[in-house]
Each structure stands twice: as structure tokens, then as C-alpha cells.
Amino acid sequence: MSGIWVVVEEREGRISRISCEAVAAGQKLAALAGLTVNAVVLDAQTEALAAEVAAKALAKVIRIEHPLLAAYTADGFTLALQQFFAAEQPDFVIFPHSYQVRDYAPALAARLGQVHIGDVTDVAEGPVFTRQLMQGRLSGIYRHTGNGPCFVSVQAGAFRTAESEAVEISAAEVTVFKPTIEPAQIRTKPSEPFRAAAQTVDLGAAQRIVSVGRGIKDAGNLPLVQELATALGAELGASRPICDSGWLPTERQIGSSGQTVSPKLYLAVGISGAIQHLVGMKGSQCVVAINKDPSAPIFEIADYGIVGDLFEVVPALTEAVKAAKQ
Amino acid sequence: MKIIVAIKQVPERDAQVRIDSAGKWIEESGLQWALNESDAYALEEALQLKEKHGGEVVVLSAGPERVSSTIREALAKGADRAIHIDCADLGKLDALGVARLLTAAVKPENPDLVLTGLQSEDLGQGQTGVILAELLGLPHASLILHVEKTDAGLTVKRELEEGWFQSIELPTPAVLTIQSGGNKLRYATLMGIKRAKTKEVRVVAASELGQQTAPVVVLERIALPTKHKSTQMLSGTAKETAAALVEKLKFEARVL
């Protein structure tokens, strides 16, 4: 067995932030398990990214290179990593829990007879891994009991990158691994990513946001929340189900698939706080949550919480804000 | 086009979940159950594909007896028939164990397409569809919002992060995991509910689907989440809490 391997992803040519957090998770696990941390990067060309990765406190960096890895495909990435890890026999493989990893890591683990532990928020002595259950209302503590490598992906924002910031340009040994991939083995044909129609609302620049979720029950109740937003001079945002139902345009969606915001004030109305929403707003300076369910996970990251019926609390709040301005 | 939709029954969204006495799972007695949301979108996509191109929609679900109510709901919405893998201790299996059961049930059906929601609302692992594709030896795409049938197979719209999308071409048979929001969900009609009662539900015991292997990942225990922030909870009447909050926002947080 050969220690801990972190699969690093790039974003606009640099290590993605969540990949840095995956390295930090690897280092935390290394301290618990007494193992070394290494990294792999995959692409057609990996020299620049590998150099950036090598500046982290790592033992080895492997450049997995193949022309067929230029565009991400589940088939290509699974084959390449399977070949590398079958030879390397890692103890642990750590990924960032990105949309891309979710697309292939479960298949890679299954191909090696293992089960991936995804969306992990903590690692502790054992090692055991914590991940959320029931949309964040509960935590599950998981243990890998198989004989092969343990595959784990870490949730965005769960591990602090401070300890993984660039140290001295270390002497991480960088080598190239060339997997064998035939064009016929890549069964899907991806196109270039594209964005939806031009955004007309830039929630990222808003100082105050009032955001609405499922608790509003019906599109006809939205004016209630709009009035509060107007009184506060705030933009209106929403959680995914509101946009899925077509009650508000998708450009007002906040979360992993929508916009990421960090206003001074984020007021969440009737939003339970599933992680997909939280990742889009947890950088907010002050978070207020109004929800009828005291166990809603939104309260875990709120500065101020009101457990109550939003149909009573929101109009009262609108009045109080208006009164305070006079 | 023959489409299999793998669906899961999960606790209803607003259900108050409690940890059971062993600390290993939630207390299931008294819970209300529902069709997992993204699975409802997978079913909707399948029904729309059938309406456009003809064929058959078969729903597949694993779980104890209670799962039959969710299966009936899917039949009432328009699925043609169902396979219920009767498994009382689904929670003892890991994601690979569940996918193995589903694979054994899917294989003899030889479908053109297998759809499932991208993740369950209870465990939230988001792995079943991807492992199913691996075990069936089929290509897959995940987080799909839209499916179009082409001469060569399928063109699908995949959701990426932060408002980006991608289209992917893949041959059939294939497995897709469906993201919520791509379509508008239908309700079951009275006629649909009536007809569902006469549709075929084949119950297969999990033990008939091959030897179960020991899990390689176990959920050791469950706990309440640890709080990272100290939250000030405001209580009183709506008017009192509103006034208190405005005070706090103005003078303590200084964000008004």
C-alpha cells in the first residue's frame, strides 16, 4: 500500500480551491494514519498544473497524461485512474466533491470492488468519515471495511486550506504516467461547456439578499417576501425548488448550480438549508434564518434564527424595517 | 424505447426525523414516506420520452413492503408496470450492494435506457446510477436536465457548476441520472390512479437476485450535526421577534 493520493482538479489553469481543500483533508488524514500524501493530475498536458501542485507539502506528484484526457469523460478518467491505482495500491484516494468527481468516482471505486464515501465533511481517528444525512439534519459516521483502497471525496468548504498553503518549493518528485486508452473506449462525446442566456441579475454584487425557499408554499405568496426585500433595499434570491417550479427565474437561484453570493445580510425565508444551497451563501457576513422547523440545517450557519410561521413573521418584519427607517 | 426508472422511497421532506435507540439509523415508525424528488423528475423524463417515441416505462424500486405505495404512485402517473425488489434490510447494504440488486433486476429486461434521480434525499450519496452503469457495462451521464433521442442514440444536457451546462452525445443503451427541474412534474389523474390498480407489479425477493456480499463501507452511527456558529434564537410573538431582529441587525450586526 502506498499512502494517500489526492486527485487534483484544475479551474482556469490553476488548482481549484476545493482541490486545495482535498489536499488539506489528505494532510489531516496523514497525521491521523501516519501516511504520506501524494497527488495526481490528469489531462492531455499537465506540466504547469503539476508544478503548482508540487509546491504543496507532498511526497510525489504524478502527471497522468493522455491525448484522450483533454476533455473530461467518465470513461477516460475512470480507465486512467484505474490503471494507475491498480499499480500503485493506495491506502486512501481523496477527491474534491465536484460535479465531475460525482460523475466517475463511484464507478472507479466499484471497478476496484470498493464503495466511494462521498461529500465528506470531517475525518477523525479510526479513520472514520462524517457526511451529512437527511439533507443536513443528521450526520452519518462511516468506516471503510474493505481490503482495497478507501475512496473519499470532500465537501467544498469543509477543510481549511491554511495548513496546505504553499510551503517552500518542495522537492516533490514529479513523474509522468501514461495510461493505455483506445478511442473506442470513450463512449460519450462531450461538447464545450456553455452558459445559459446572459444574466441580468448579478446577485454576487448585492449587499443585502432576501432569499426564499419551499416554505413559501405557493407562487402567489411571493409578494410577501418581495415586500420585505423592497423594505430592506435587498435583492430577491431563491433556493433551487423555487426556480425548478418556475416561480422565479433561474438567474435568482443561489447554490452550487446557481450563483454564489456573499452579501452583508442574507435573510433566508422558508429555506431548510440543504448543502447545495449553503455552499452558495455561507460566505455571507450576517445570516438570518426564518423557518418553522427548529431542526432545519439553515440554523446551524445562521447568526440570528427565528423559529416560526413565515406568514406571520415576514409581514411583521417588513413593518418593523419600515418603522426603523422613519 | 424501453425505459427502466429506478426510484426510491424516502422520508417525507418535512418529516421530523429522530435517531433510533441503537444510534445507527432513524426511527422509522410513524414516518410519512414519499417518492424521492429527483426520481420523480427521472420518471417524468421517461414518461415524456415514451409519449414522443412510444415504448414502455418500467419502474424499479428496492425496499420493504411500504415501498409498494410509492410504486403505485409511479404507476398512477403513467408507468406501465413495476418491479419491486423486496428487501427488508436495504440499510445494511452499501451503495455497491444496492446497485448489484438493481443490476440483477435490470439485466434480463434489456432496456434501451435506465433513468434514476441524481441522489436520494435520505442518504444523499448520489452513486446508484453511476455504479449501475458500471455494473451493467453501459455508458452514463449524470446531472441531466434534458434528454433528446437521436438517430445515433441520445443527446443530453448536463448541468455543471455555477450556471454552466454541457451537451453530451452517447449511444444507447445508456444510464442517466436526472437532476430536478428539467421538466414540470405531472400529477396522477383519477383515471391514472384507477388504472394503476390493475397494472403489473412483480415482486422479487432480494435473495433471488444473487448472493449478497459483505459491505465494504458501513454507516457506524448517526448523530446530530455539530454546530459551527453560535446562533442567537429570537423568540416571542411575530411582532416581538421582528422588532428584536431589527434592533440586532441595526446595532449588533450593523448591516441595516
Q: Which of A313, A295, A227, A325 is nearest to B234 (CA)?
A: A313
- Comparing alpha-carbon positions, the chain A residue that sits nearest to B99 is A110
- Comparing alpha-carbon positions, the chain B residue that sits nearest to A308 is B238
**pLDDT value at position B76?**
98
In this structure, the answer to whether residues B129 and B253 fall within a common structural domain is: no
In this structure, the answer to whether residues B79 and B156 fall within a common structural domain is: yes
* B205 assigned to some structural domain: yes
Per the CB < 8 Å rule, is A302 touching B229?
yes
Q: What is the DSSP annotation of A292-306? A: S-TT-GGGGG-SEEE
- Residue A234 DSSP SS3: coil
d(CA B133, CA B142): 11
**pLDDT value at position B16?**
85
In this structure, the answer to whether residues B241 and B195 fall within a common structural domain is: no
**CATH number of A203-325: 3.40.50.1220, 3.30.499.10, 3.90.930.12, 1.10.357.10?**
3.40.50.1220
Which B-chain residues 87-146 have CB contacts (< 8 A) with chain A? 94-96, 99, 121-127, 130-131, 133-135, 139-143
Residue B255, φ and ψ in degrees, nearest 5: -115, 5
> What average pLDDT does range A202-218 have in this prediction?
94
Q: Chain B within 8 Å of A143 (Cβ-Cβ)?
A: yes
* B204 assigned to some structural domain: yes
Its pTM stands at 0.92
The pLDDT > 70 percentage for chain B reads: 100
> What average pLDDT does range B24-49 have in this prediction?
96
* B215 assigned to some structural domain: no
- Residue B124 DSSP SS3: coil
Option in A295, A306, A319 nearest B241 (CB):
A306
* B70 assigned to some structural domain: yes
In this structure, the answer to whether residues B176 and B231 fall within a common structural domain is: no
* B134 assigned to some structural domain: yes
pLDDT tens for residues A16-28?
999 999 999 999 9
In this structure, the answer to whether residues B198 and B99 fall within a common structural domain is: yes
Per the CB < 8 A criterion, the answer to whether A274 and B38 are in contact is no
Which A-chain residues 12-41 have CB contacts (< 8 A) with chain B? none
> Is residue A165's pLDDT more than 70?
no
Beta-ladder partners of B156: B147, B168
Domain that holds residue B231: 226-256
Which B-chain residues 17-46 have CB contacts (< 8 A) with chain A? 17, 19, 26
Question: How close A123 gets to chain B, by Cα (Å)?
Answer: 13
Question: How close B52 gets to chain A, by Cα (Å)?
Answer: 23
Same CATH fold, A203-325 and A4-185? yes
Q: Chain B within 8 Å of A243 (Cβ-Cβ)?
A: yes
| Neighboring chain B residues of A114 at a CB cutoff of 8 Å | 96, 216-217
In this structure, the answer to whether residues B122 and B231 fall within a common structural domain is: no
In this structure, the answer to whether residues B120 and B245 fall within a common structural domain is: no
d(CA A253, CA A247): 11
Indicate which of A242, A304, A314 best probes the interface with B, i.e. most B CBs within 10 Å of its own CB. A304
**pLDDT value at position A198?**
64
Q: Chain A within 8 Å of B151 (Cβ-Cβ)?
A: no
Quickly state the pLDDT bin for B169 (edges 50, 70, 90): very high
pLDDT tens for residues A107-133?
999 999 999 999 999 999 999 999 999
**pLDDT value at position A83?**
97
* B34 assigned to some structural domain: yes
pLDDT tens for residues B79-135?
999 999 999 988 889 999 999 999 999 999 999 999 999 999 999 999 999 999 999
From A200-204, A319-323, B153-157, B178-182, the region with the lowest mean pLDDT: A200-204
| Neighboring chain A residues of B154 at a CB cutoff of 8 Å | none
In this structure, the answer to whether residues B56 and B140 fall within a common structural domain is: yes
Question: How close B19 gets to chain A, by Cα (Å)?
Answer: 9
**pLDDT value at position A254?**
95
CATH number at residue B115: 3.40.50.620
Q: Which secondary-structure segment (H or E) carries B47? A: helix B37-53
pLDDT tens for residues A222-248?
999 999 999 999 999 999 999 999 999
Q: Which of B211, B213, B201, B209 is nearest to B65 (CA)?
A: B201
In this structure, the answer to whether residues B247 and B146 fall within a common structural domain is: no
Q: Chain B within 8 Å of A71 (Cβ-Cβ)?
A: no
Per the CB < 8 Å rule, is A297 touching B225?
yes
Question: How close A14 gets to chain B, by Cα (Å)?
Answer: 17
**pLDDT value at position A2?**
86
* B218 assigned to some structural domain: no
> Is residue A196's pLDDT more than 90?
no
Q: Which CATH class is domain A4-185?
A: alpha beta
Q: What is the DSSP annotation of chain B? A: -EEEEE--EEE-TT----B-TTSSSB--TT--EEE-HHHHHHHHHHHHHHHHH--EEEEEEEESTTHHHHHHHHHHHT--EEEEEE-TTGGGS-HHHHHHHHHHHHGGG--SEEEEES--SSS----HHHHHHHHHT--EEEEEEEEEE-SSSEEEEEE-STTEEEEEEEPSSEEEEEPTTSSPPPPPPHHHHHHHTTS-EEEEEGGGG-PPPPPSEEEEEEEPPPPSS--EEE-SSHHHHHHHHHHIIIIIS---
How many structural domains compose chain B? 2
In this structure, the answer to whether residues B64 and B145 fall within a common structural domain is: yes
d(CA A300, CA B185): 32
Q: Cis peptide before A193, with omega less than 30 degrees from 0?
A: no
* B102 assigned to some structural domain: yes
Q: Mean pLDDT over all residues of chain A? A: 93
Q: Cis peptide before B173, with omega less than 30 degrees from 0?
A: yes
The pLDDT > 90 percentage for chain A reads: 83
Quickly state the pLDDT bin for A181 (edges 50, 70, 90): very high
Q: Chain B within 8 Å of A197 (Cβ-Cβ)?
A: no
Per the CB < 8 A criterion, the answer to whether B76 and B190 are in contact is no
Which A-chain residues 254-273 have CB contacts (< 8 A) with chain B? 256-260, 264-265, 272
Per the CB < 8 Å rule, is A187 touching B19?
no
In this structure, the answer to whether residues B203 and B230 fall within a common structural domain is: no
Question: How close B69 gets to chain A, by Cα (Å)?
Answer: 21
Burial of A194 (0-12, 13-18, 19+ CB in 10 A): exposed
**pLDDT value at position A195?**
85
Per the CB < 8 Å rule, is A317 touching B253?
no
> Is residue A166's pLDDT more than 60?
no
Option in B17, B167, B231 nearest A299 (CB):
B231
The C-alpha cell at A263 is 452579501
Strands A304-307, A286-291: pairing is parallel
> Is residue A164's pLDDT more than 50?
no
**pLDDT value at position A157?**
87
Query: What are the domain boundaries of chain A?
Result: 4-185, 203-325
Q: What is the DSSP letter of B154?
A: E
User: Which value does ipTM take for this structure?
Assistant: 0.94
In this structure, the answer to whether residues B186 and B234 fall within a common structural domain is: no
Option in B164, B171, B224 nearest A195 (CB):
B164
Q: Chain B within 8 Å of A82 (Cβ-Cβ)?
A: no
**pLDDT value at position A304?**
97
Question: How close A50 gets to chain B, by Cα (Å)?
Answer: 24
> Is residue A29's pLDDT more than 50?
yes
d(CA A93, CA A102): 14
> Is residue A163's pLDDT more than 60?
no
> Is residue A53's pLDDT more than 60?
yes
> Is residue A209's pLDDT more than 70?
yes
> Is residue A88's pLDDT more than 60?
yes
Per the CB < 8 Å rule, is A286 touching B255?
yes
| Neighboring chain A residues of B99 at a CB cutoff of 8 Å | 110
Residue reference for cell 452513486: B127
Q: Chain B within 8 Å of A214 (Cβ-Cβ)?
A: yes
> Is residue A76's pLDDT more than 50?
yes
Which B-chain residues 216-255 have CB contacts (< 8 A) with chain A? 216-229, 231-235, 238-239, 241-243, 245-246, 248-250, 253, 255
